[in-house]
Structure formats: C-alpha cells, structure tokens
A and B are shown apart, each in its own frame.
Chain A
Amino acid sequence: MGINKVDQYVKGMFADEAIQPPKGAENALFERMDKIRSRKRQARIFGAVALVCFAYWGSATLFENPEVAFSNSEQVEANPADLSALDADELANEMPVIANEEPMESNQSEAIPSVEVPSDSRLAAPAMTNAQPAEVQQGDRKGALEPIDVLPASPASHVMSDKALREAEEERWVMPAVVKVKD
C-alpha cells in the first residue's frame, strides 16, 4: 500500500468526523460574546466621555486664561529692559506707522482690518496693537511708552512710504561696517 493510499485512507476516515459539543457550550459561548460586546461598548462610551472632558477642559483653559494657552507660542513679549534701550530716534521711526493706523481705526468700522500693512516682515514691529502698549504701561516703564501715544504724528510720516522705511533700516545695518573701516 503506497503512501498516498495510506493518506487517503486516513483522511477518508476523519473527513466527515463530527462530534456534538456538550450542551452548555453554546450558552457559555454566547454569554462570553455578550460580555465582550458590552465591554467594548463601555470602552467606547468611556473613550467618548474622556474626549469630551478633555475638549471641555481645553476650551475652558483657552478662553479663561488665554496667556497660559499661548505661552508656548512664538509670541514675543515686550521686555521693559529692551524698551528702555530704545532711543528717541527709533521711537520716532516707529511712530509714524502707529499714527497711520489710528485715524483709520477711528474712521472705519472695527470689522475692517488695517489696509496699510507693510509687506516686509522687518517692518511688522511698528504695527503694534492697542493692547500691547496697555500691557507695557502696567510695568515699570510706564513713562517710557507714554510718549508714543502723546507725541503727535509728524506730517512727514504720512508721506513716508515703505521704500523710505526700508532705506532707513538699511542705513542702520550699514553704520557699524563703516566704523570698522575707519579703525
């Protein structure tokens, strides 16, 4: 008798083998499956509740304490020590842009943003909001910033274009190089 014949003979014996499982097996299986299903359901509900709680906590933190929410952002706060270093010339250079914005805000509705926003990122510093001076005023250097609001806008500042501002900036960058050559 060959190998294949033996295999077929044995296979044929067990091919349709069927043994009835014990009676309680079916109920035990479906009870177990119900437990698994209810556990899954509970896990889903718990997950959803946890998510809602987290979202609620997150939104509460954001609205109630905005400075905490943005503490990790790239926002640069004004340091009073740095502000004291600003000389009168720099203040004069920054002044005109603020003076440009203020009349627009008074004339236009609050919903319309300022149109005269300089495209160069280096010139973004002068575009300070009203909130920033208010924060600084609470600090030690109240007097240092008060002139910004008090000083009248020079008539020439209205005419000063972006190009002129950029040229003024460039002059400042060139100056130390000229001093070195002289030495």
Chain B
Amino acid sequence: MDSEEVELIERCKKGNADAQRRLYSRYSPLLFAVALRYSNTRHDAEDIAQDAWVKVFRYLKSFSENNSFEGWLRRIVVNTAITHYRRQKKHTYHVDIDEVYATPKDLEAFKETDYNKEEIEKAINALPKGYATVFKMYVIEGFKHKEIAETLGIDVNTSKSQLSRARRALQGTLINMARIAKKSDGNQ
C-alpha cells in the first residue's frame, strides 16, 4: 500500500466524508466486478456492492495497514454475496447432474490460447453453484481452503474435493465448447 492510500484510509477511519467518497471512487469498479461475479443478476450485484460498502466503512477501523486493502475488500464482498444468497436460499452446494469431466486426453489438448475471457466466464457460470463458488474463491480471489470452508460452512476436505471437481468440470466444459465451435465452423 502506498502512503497516499494509507492516509486516505486513515481519514476514512476518522469519518471524513470526502475521503470516503474518494475511497469509493477508487475501489468501486473492483468491488462491483467481484460482486457481479458472485451474483445471479446485475440488480443483485448492486445490492451486494452497496451492502459491502456499508460494511467496509463500518469495519474499516479494524483494518490493519499491514494487510492488503484490496484483499480485505474482496473478502468482504464475497462474504456479503454468500450471506445474501444464503438468506434467499438460492445457493445449494449439492452436486448437479450433467457434469462433463475432462479426460486426461482432453487435458493434454487444453491450450490456454484457445479460450478468451468471455468463454471462460461462461464456462465457470455453467458449473454447479457450489463448484463455481469454491473455484472462484480459490482461483480468482485467492482464498485458502480453510477460509472457504469457514465462509461457506463446509469442511476443508469438501472445499478441496469441490475445487478438484470444479477444475475438471470446467476443462471439460471448455473442451466441449471448443468442439461445438469447431463443428459449427466445419458446417459453414
């Protein structure tokens, strides 16, 4: 964290309204992107982002400058999103059917250059909710399995197994998507 950011956070801690607005304009795009990643609709993402910002300003006094502010923000948004959906009982962590797992042969053929961001995002969102959440928390947000387990209220081993299944399912989905795309190209 640079000194300017530390100073801004310190002013926010003292309840300075201008500093709070500056902090908001600086981090709101990141926070909203995370909220959108964990929500079903854009409207839900707006609610989650607002709730998360209220929590940020309420608990900012407990934030230590030695830690990453961005990481702290991410955790708050993810926790808020999970609480939001848990309250609405939309999230289920059971294993859905119609999962397509990648075979070792598929994995060999998997090349990063084959897929762009939209395709990967689409593939992640196609995963069962529980898998997708664990995958996003671990791979994108950088949570540890222990943190994931505590946040989702599951066992650490469950978190690990869900991540493993999520990876295979994601690769399978991506390969399927590539096959479908090839076929459509061939037909044309």
Question: A residues engaging B (CB < 8 A)?
Answer: 1, 3, 5-7, 9-11, 13-15, 17-22, 25-26, 28-30, 32-33, 36
Contacts of B181 in A (CB 8 A): none
How many Å lie between the Cα of A92 and that of B110 in the bound state?
Answer: 113
Contacts of B46 in A (CB 8 A): 21-22, 25
Say yes or no: is B131 at the interface (Cβ < 8 Å to chain A). Answer: no
Say yes or no: is B83 at the interface (Cβ < 8 Å to chain A). Answer: no
Among candidates A14, A28, A33, residue contacting B140 with C-beta atoms closer than 8 Å: A14
Number of inter-chain CB pairs below 8 Å: 73
Closest 7 CB pairs of A and B: A18-B29, A21-B32, A19-B33, A17-B33, A9-B112, A14-B140, A13-B117
Question: B residues engaging A (CB < 8 A)?
Answer: 17, 20-21, 24-25, 28-33, 36-37, 46, 49-50, 53-54, 57, 107-108, 110-112, 117, 120, 124, 139-140, 142, 167, 170-171
Q: How far is the CB of B184 from chain A (nearest CB, A)?
A: 24
Contacts of A30 in B (CB 8 A): 17, 20-21, 24
Cβ A10 vs Cβ B139 within 8 A? yes
**Chain A at the B interface: SS class:** helix
Given A3-B167, A10-B140, A30-B21, decide whether A19 and B29 contact each other with a Cβ distance below 8 A. yes
Cβ B120 vs Cβ A21 within 8 A? no
Given A21-B46, A29-B53, decide whether A11 and B139 contact each other with a Cβ distance below 8 A. yes
**Minimal Cβ-Cβ distance residue in B for A9:** B112
Contacts of A13 in B (CB 8 A): 117, 120
Cβ A25 vs Cβ B167 within 8 A? no
Cβ B36 vs Cβ A1 within 8 A? no
Pull 5 A–B residue pairs with CB atoms less than 8 Å apart, ordered by A.
Answer: A3-B167, A14-B37, A26-B24, A26-B25, A29-B50
Q: How far is the CB of B98 from chain A (nearest CB, A)?
A: 22
Given A1-B112, A30-B21, decide whether A25 and B171 contact each other with a Cβ distance below 8 A. no
Cβ A6 vs Cβ B30 within 8 A? no
Cβ A11 vs Cβ B140 within 8 A? yes
Known: A10-B124, A19-B36, A30-B21. 16 other contacts (CB 8 A): A9-B112, A11-B142, A13-B117, A18-B32, A20-B28, A20-B29, A21-B32, A21-B49, A22-B46, A25-B32, A26-B28, A29-B50, A30-B17, A30-B24, A32-B50, A36-B54
